Amino acid sequence: MHNNPHIIIEKGVEYHLGTLHGDTIQYDFQKMLIYLNHKGKLLFGKNFKIYEEDEVILFKLCIYLIKDHEYCAKFNIDPNKGILLSGPVGCGKTSLMKLLHHIVPHQKPYEVIPARNITFSFNNQGYKTIEEYGNTNYYCFDDLGVETTGRHFGKDCNVMGEIILSRYDLYLKNKTKTHATTNLNAQELEDRYGNRVRSRMRQLFNLIAFEEKSADKRK
């Protein structure tokens, strides 16, 4: 089905993200940007565009997803780990995580789920919610750190912290991927989840960070 995963067809239009050389694809970043610009408009509306100041972030996400080993090494990105995309409010983290997977339709997808929804579900269902994420599906936990502490039958639980601990075990066992987006920096994540979780997050994720001064695209 994906004999030519570098050729993507959207509404009858073919996008070539690169060229095939033997059995390896030579991806072309500029062509990937053309496709991402188009797909972004389809997903998020006509105001979506590729911001020049985001191109470094986009480049890192692209080389990670296509597993370009040379560039990954250069940027200290481990293709086996997940991505933690951090940055200020409204810079475009959630949109990028939803968009970028489309450049690699042949790869196992990840589901983008707000961390808040997971704690709400914990408040209703209790520990069953934590177990639900203990599988080999791939997830992107969106907006990690803004969720409230879980509370089920009067018992408090650091729900996302627990889920990250179990996702870390799955990563060690099966290279199961977990991604996340967050507004918090490393210190704030540690304050929020404690150093046990923080230490595992360093193993679980490659950090890709927007600059602190990145503009809020909602404005």
Residues 82 and 179 sit within 8 Å (Cβ to Cβ)? yes
Q: Does 41 bind ligand ATP (CB under 6 A)?
A: no
Our separate counts of H helices and E strands in the chain read: 9, 11
Q: Please give the structure tokens belonging to residue 149.
A: 């502490």
- The DSSP line for 152-187 is ETTEEE-HHHHHHHHHHHHHHHH---EEEEES--HH
Euclidean distance between the first and the last CA atom of the chain, given in angstroms as a whole number: 41
Q: Does 94 bind Mg ion (CB under 5 A)?
A: yes
CB of 43 to ligand ATP, least distance (A): 9
Which of 3, 24, 30, 47 touches ligand ATP (CB under 6 A)?
47
Residues 204 and 171 sit within 8 Å (Cβ to Cβ)? yes
The item of Mg ion, ligand ATP, none sharing an interface with residue 183, based on CB under 5 to 8 Å by kind, is ligand ATP
Stretch of 5-13, 27-35, 44-52, 130-138 lying at the interface with ligand ATP (CB under 6 A): 44-52
Q: Does 117 bind ligand ATP (CB under 6 A)?
A: no
The residue whose Cβ lies closest to Mg ion is 94
- The whole-angstrom separation of Cα 147 and Cα 119 is 7
Contacts with 169 (C-beta within 8 Å, 6 or more apart), sequence order:
none
The item of ligand ATP, Mg ion, none sharing an interface with residue 151, based on CB under 5 to 8 Å by kind, is none
Stretch of 19-27, 65-73, 86-94, 148-156 lying at the interface with ligand ATP (CB under 6 A): 86-94
Residues in 161-190 at the binding interface with ligand ATP, rule: CB under 6 A: 181, 183
Q: Applying CB under 5 A, which residues contact Mg ion?
A: 93-94
Q: Applying CB under 6 A, which residues contact ligand ATP?
A: 44, 47-49, 51, 87, 89-95, 143, 181, 183, 217-218
